[in-house]
Amino acid sequence: MTFRARHLLGIEHLAPLEITTVLDLADRYVDLNRRTVKQSDVLAGMTQINMFFENSTRTQASFELAGKRLGADVMNMAVGQSSVKKGETLIDTALTLNAMHPDLLVVRHPSSGAVNLLASKVNCAVLNAGDGRHEHPTQALLDALTIRRAKGRIQRLTIAICGDIAHSRVARSNLILLGKMENRIRLIGPPTLMPAGIGAFGVEVFDDMRKGLAGADVVMMLRLQKERMDGGFIPSEREYYHRFGLDAEKLSHAKPDAIVMHPGPMNRGVEIDGDLADDINRSVIQDQVEMGVAVRMACMDLLARNLRAERGRKIVGAMV
């Protein structure tokens, strides 16, 4: 098994072989999660703290379930009721928690780069659960697992990522992962929602859904990240749906067996038609949620192995 990382901060730092290692192990956790008794002891005795400084349903719930199923002691910090509200900085909060000897720290934060900074201050493994518009590595890994299970491979596919690319950490992590695995990537959306200089990423850019979707194997939709917008990026939601919302007609331009993905939370009738999102013949949105728990179990298992090995080396080092 190849997985050298000390923290999981972004896809940027992972080699293709490390990505494959996560996906292979996650496949095994999917089987465990489908059993009645979903218990393993790979994190037994370890402490996991989840710190979410931004709203979350899927990511927080799945990190919590993942840790519990692996036997860790899991603590969810109620950020809203913590000293953060009294002005304590992120780093002070992290150092305080670090002094309680957690082994895994799962962090979501609205500022890009905040999780990397925090990782440099603590001596446990840090997992990035989404930082600003920077990275959301476990989302890209769960998307990759969903694609691999639906298509039988995660290479040489044509993948369209549609909507608010500019503000999306999901798009960024997916772009990096899917690029590393040698797929053909298309970005579709209004020019106002495309990051500047995106052409240099080796992707094709479209502002017409029908053209961009032609021949796609995978169609990944994104939410308009209004909380990260500081002005009028779209004329109106109605107009946006008309041009960029995915419905059956627009999807008919992709391959007949193309799958539809969305990281959630979905805004039905804005970026995606509600009936299409619920169509189990096309949509793998619920599979993404299922894969999310397994991928997070795999990531924490692998990081915990590295942590144990590192601590073991330190003990041996101190003895000689």
Cβ atoms within 10 Å, residue 24: 13
Site for ligand NCD in 253-292 (CB under 6 A): 263-264
Indicate whether 228 belongs to the interface with ligand NCD (CB under 6 A): no
> Per 3-state DSSP, what percentage of the chain is helix, strand, and coil (rounded to 5)?
45, 15, 40
Minimum distance of ligand NCD from residue 194's CB (angstroms)? 17
Indicate whether 110 belongs to the interface with ligand NCD (CB under 6 A): no
**C-alpha to C-alpha distance for 158 and 174, rounded to whole angstroms:** 13
Q: Tokens 């002691």 — which residue?
A: 73
Indicate the residue type of 43: L
Q: Tokens 């169509």 — which residue?
A: 279
Q: Tokens 């790979």 — which residue?
A: 42
Indicate whether 223 belongs to the interface with ligand NCD (CB under 6 A): yes
User: Binders of ligand NCD: how many residues, by CB under 6 A?
Assistant: 11
Instruction: Judge whether 150 and 128 are in contact, CB under 8 Å.
Output: no
Instruction: Among 169, 172, 253, 282, indicate the residue that binds ligand NCD (CB under 6 A).
Output: 169
Indicate whether 130 belongs to the interface with ligand NCD (CB under 6 A): yes
Q: Given the complex with ligand NCD, which of 130 and 245 has the nearer CB atom?
A: 130
Provide DSSP, 204-224. Answer: EEES-HHHHHTT-SEEEE---
Q: Given the complex with ligand NCD, which of 253 and 262 has the nearer CB atom?
A: 262
SS3 at position 247: coil
Q: Given the complex with ligand NCD, which of 31 and 227 has the nearer CB atom?
A: 227
Q: Given the complex with ligand NCD, which of 139 and 183 has the nearer CB atom?
A: 139
Binding mask 21-40 for ligand NCD (x = CB under 6 A): --------------------
Site residues (vs ligand NCD, CB under 6 A): 58-59, 130, 136, 139, 169-170, 223, 225, 263-264
